[in-house]
Structure 1
Amino acid sequence: MKLIVMVSLLVFISWSCKKKTESVYLQQDQIRIVQPRLEATNQLIDSIAYLTARLKLEGRKIYYTTNGDDPTENTTEYKAPLKVLSPGTYKFRAYHPDWKESDIAEIKFYKRGIPIDTIIWNTNPNKRYQGVGSLTLHNNKKGALDFMNDQWLGFDTIADATVHLKHAVFVKSIHIGYLCDPGSWIFPPEGIMIKTSADGTKFTHKNVTLQPLDSMLPPTLKNVEITIGDTIKHIHVTVKNVASIPDWHEGKGNKAWLFMDEWVLNNNGIR
């Protein structure tokens, strides 16, 4: 009788351990690993930039694309820092045999834009997030995913400024760079108004409304390109923050943050 009880107990323990192991494995298999951390020597290209993807996790592999497609295990594997020679979008995703693949980490490279002479601010950033002062949006340096990086200007109201160029030039478009990090209460702009002028008196107006964020996303560097297509010397930019954090977010009803970095002016040559 004792032998039967002991054998039954051993079978039960073995079965319990097996089920526990399977349960732990299944739970582990559903956990998503963190996305690779991307570091670039520069995101505004005038010669060469170097791009590094980092993720300290034994057994992981990182894959990437340069054509805008999402990376998979069938795309190019990242093994060493990449040399970037021209503008484009780079996407990275990490894989591990025991974990769920990471979210996509994305970084964009831009052609160095038309030099900005000065930016005159009509509103001021929050005292905690003042970047590197008046040069923050035209010092040819992009902000990092960390909102504490010193290349960000943080606003809890609208951001309003006038950009002045030394000479009237043809401007194809303007890129407005911003941070999307809803986990830190930092949201995309609600809308942007652009007023352009060649002489500083007669202005052409253009309004752009952005798609509101409707779900939680990992921190991402974003930009919106607004077509200008005219010879100008002055640009008045008003970037409107969302009125309040939306209902789907845990901070609903509170004031949202707007974080901006480089404003880049693009052209196809002087006309």
Structure 2
Amino acid sequence: MEFWTNIPYKTNQSMKYIVVIVLVVCVYSCKKNNKENEFTKTYVQKEEIQLVNPKIIVNNVIIDTSSSIIASLPLDQTVIRYTTDGNEPTETSEKYTDIISISESGTYTFKAFHPEFKSSGSEQVSFFKKGIDVDIFSLITPLNKQYPGQGESTLVNHKKGTLNFRDGEWIGVTEPFIAIIDFKTKIFLDSVDIGYLVNTDAWIFPIQNVSIAFSENGADFTDIEPQEALEKIKTGSTKLDNIHIPVAKKLKKLKIKISNVTSIPKWHQGKGNPAWLFMDEWIFNAKISN
């Protein structure tokens, strides 16, 4: 009887030891796994986090004598790089180290890099040389009461609008826009730069079409076919842009007609409606002609 009564006792003791061992192993494994998971999670999070875009501060994008760019992103080990050829910056592009002085027209693209995070998106800013002054700017199309800008001078006041289409530097229309520019004296017009805004969320689309005619005597006009292909937006977008139109003619007057998107595309919530067209500065790159 003593033999049989001792078996349960020894078995219980053994089971207790086994349970304790199993618990210890489980706790150790869990702690180890948690540490590994925490390390992996931290590593993955850092690899997946993208840097915010660098902040770009510009005096004026229309250059009279000079302008400047300041780029910043206050995070240790961050390097900002930039290009001037329109391409996306890479880790081998020019390194931004100090304020950049600008005296010529061109496009600057900035991007931030960090050893532990994904590189930022890019920020782009274009500079334009101040064009020749206009003597008389006559609107054939009346201004829209909702977005009149600062009147007809909005397009020739040597100021560029921002991404905020309510900043007062934009003329907004929903129908073709026609203006006649009188330079008073004869000039040789090299080209025209027409600034516009894209903000598809606000139903603002790119320029659909441009028609230009010039007059050498101030009365008779001859058409010029624009050579630049116009942008077609296929997805949502918000940006400042510009159309550069070569002219290379002696003239006294210029007639410009800008057409908007007459029907918003099917992918957009406003499909079928006429789109807004927002324009700011028109720059006339010219010299006085004898």
TM-score normalized with structure 2 length: 0.80
1:212 and 2:237 are equivalent in the alignment: no
Q: Given the superposition, is the C-alpha separation of residues 154 and 20 from structure 1 closer, same or farther in structure 2, using an over 3 Å criterion?
A: farther
Q: Mean alpha-carbon deviation: is it higher for 102-111 or for 51-60?
A: 51-60
Q: Deviations over 1:22-43 (max 9, x none)?
A: 3565366445434334332122
Task: Measure the CA separation in 2 of the matches of 1:52 and 1:128.
Answer: 34
Q: Deviations over 1:151-199 (max 9, x none)?
A: 2222233222221212121111111111233344322111111121123
Q: Is the 8 A contact 1:65 1:71 kept in 2?
A: yes
Larger helix fraction of residues: 2
What's the counterpart of residue 4 of structure 1? 22
Amino acid at match of 1:258: L
Q: Given the superposition, is the C-alpha separation of residues 189 and 57 from structure 1 closer, same or farther in structure 2, using an over 3 Å criterion?
A: farther
Count of residue correspondences: 270
What's the counterpart of residue 6 of structure 2? none
3-state SS, counterpart of residue 149 of structure 2: coil
1:154 and 2:172 are equivalent in the alignment: yes
1:239 and 2:258 are equivalent in the alignment: yes
223, 241, 244: which one aligns with 2:242: 223
3-state SS, counterpart of residue 68 of structure 1: coil
3-state SS, counterpart of residue 283 of structure 2: strand
3-state SS, counterpart of residue 155 of structure 2: helix
Task: Measure the CA separation in 1 of the matches of 2:75 and 2:274.
Answer: 37
Q: Is the 8 A contact 1:191 1:207 kept in 2?
A: no
Q: Is the 8 A contact 1:106 1:220 kept in 2?
A: no
1:43-122 superposed matches below 5 A: 43-55=61-73, 57=75, 59-122=77-140
Q: Given the superposition, is the C-alpha separation of residues 268 and 148 from structure 1 closer, same or farther in structure 2, using an over 3 Å criterion?
A: same
Q: Is the 8 A contact 2:132 2:287 kept in 1?
A: no
Report the structure number with the largest CA radius of gyration: 2
What's the counterpart of residue 258 of structure 1? 277
What's the counterpart of residue 13 of structure 2? none
3-state SS, counterpart of residue 153 of structure 2: helix
**Which runs of 5 or more residues in structure 2 are unaligned?**
1-18
What's the counterpart of residue 198 of structure 1? 216
Task: Measure the CA separation in 2 of the matches of 1:27 and 1:118.
Answer: 59
152, 157, 161: which one aligns with 1:143: 161
Task: Measure the CA separation in 2 of the matches of 1:42 and 1:54.
Answer: 18
Q: Is the 8 A contact 2:63 2:127 kept in 1?
A: yes
1:33 and 2:51 are equivalent in the alignment: yes
Q: CA deviation at 1:235?
A: 1.4
TM-score normalized with structure 1 length: 0.85
Q: Is the 8 A contact 2:55 2:73 kept in 1?
A: yes
Q: Deviations over 1:196-219 (max 9, x none)?
A: 1123321111344513122344x3
Task: Measure the CA separation in 1 of the matches of 2:184 and 2:47.
Answer: 57
Q: Mean alpha-carbon deviation: is it higher for 162-171 or for 16-25?
A: 16-25
CA-based RMSD: 2.7
Task: Measure the CA separation in 2 of the matches of 1:184 and 1:64.
Answer: 30
Task: Measure the CA separation in 1 of the matches of 2:53 and 2:273.
Answer: 28
Q: Given the superposition, is the C-alpha separation of residues 17 and 231 from structure 1 closer, same or farther in structure 2, using an over 3 Å criterion?
A: same
